[in-house]
Amino acid sequence: MKIEEVRNLLQKTEGFRLLFLGNHDQMLVFNTNDSSLISLELNLLRTNFLDNGLEAWVNDHRVVVTKVYESYTYFYESWKDDQITISNLLNFVPLQYKNNLYFLIVLEFDNEDGIYNELLMEKNKAEKNSKYCRKYILQDKDDLERLPFSRDIEKQKTDSFSYEQKFIDMLVTNSQDFDHNIVELIKDYFKPDMRLLLNDKSKLKMVIEKRFGGESNHEITPDEH
């Protein structure tokens, strides 16, 4: 996995931008809304990141830190110390980012003979370690799809709704096989603005009573409760 692929995903697909801007002579800011850091503290934080090969990225929802490891030995010896450096961000980022800090560990080396099991164990150990931040190992392109904020995952969620529409279409097509009120009630259930209402059992009972109370052509709306 090349770091360029990860940067491309963050910038062009996920809308991330670099956290630290400007140079050492400028006031550096947390590049999101309104949070700025004291110059001395911020420069120290930035220097620690640069010295340790860490890049910090931010969008409106998350902070992501990336680092490249070019050998198993370097990965094995460094990732625990790097997470401590990353933890310093928690002292500065706005509250909304506290539980949305991610460390993407980019392995730019192939699986070496004789260390496969050791590497696998260390990768598992890192990803299961949730101290300070959530960690994801990126060694192959397929690993990008495991990121919780990946557009591919969002697309899968969107696709699930298309299956609901297909189900509704099937009901309508075969509506002669079902009671009309049952078909309409199911269609009500799949309306996005009705989901919350129908999760309330007492309101669900009221909707069913309205639907089967003789008003067969009456459309139920969220305001009717």
Residue 194 lies in a domain: yes
* Out of 100-104, 124-128, 179-183, least confident range: 179-183
**Which residue, among 170, 41, 165, 141, has the nearest Cα to 93 in the 3D structure?**
41
Question: Do residues 110 and 189 share a domain?
Answer: no
Higher per-residue confidence, 15 vs 156: 15
Higher per-residue confidence, 112 vs 128: 128
Average pLDDT over residues 196-224: 57
Say yes or no to pLDDT of 149 above 70: yes
Average pLDDT over residues 48-55: 92
**Which residue, among 7, 9, 3, 2, has the nearest Cα to 145 in the 3D structure?**
9
- Helix, strand, coil % (nearest 5) of the chain? 55, 10, 35
Question: Do residues 169 and 89 share a domain?
Answer: no
Cα–Cα dist 54/10, whole Å = 15
**Tell me: the pLDDT tens digits for 66-124?**
999 999 999 999 999 999 999 998 887 888 888 899 999 999 998 877 888 999 999 99
Range of the domain at 27: 3-149
Looking at residue 69, which CATH number applies to its domain? 3.40.1350
Say yes or no to pLDDT of 182 above 80: no
How far is CA 98 from each of CA 62, 82, 101, 162, rounded to the nearest angstrom? 9, 18, 6, 34
pLDDT band at 6 (very low <50, low <70, confident <90, very high): very high
pLDDT at 24: 44
Cα–Cα dist 157/80, whole Å = 33
pLDDT at 145: 87
pLDDT at 46: 84
pLDDT at 42: 73
Q: In the chain, how many domains are there?
A: 2
Which of 110, 127, 149 is the endpoint of a domain?
A: 149
pLDDT at 52: 93
Angle at 65 between CA 60 and CA 69, to 5 degrees: 155
Q: Residue 39 corresponds to which tokens in the numbers above?
A: 């110059």
Say yes or no to pLDDT of 22 above 60: no
Question: Do residues 119 and 200 share a domain?
Answer: no
SS3 of residue 127 by DSSP: helix
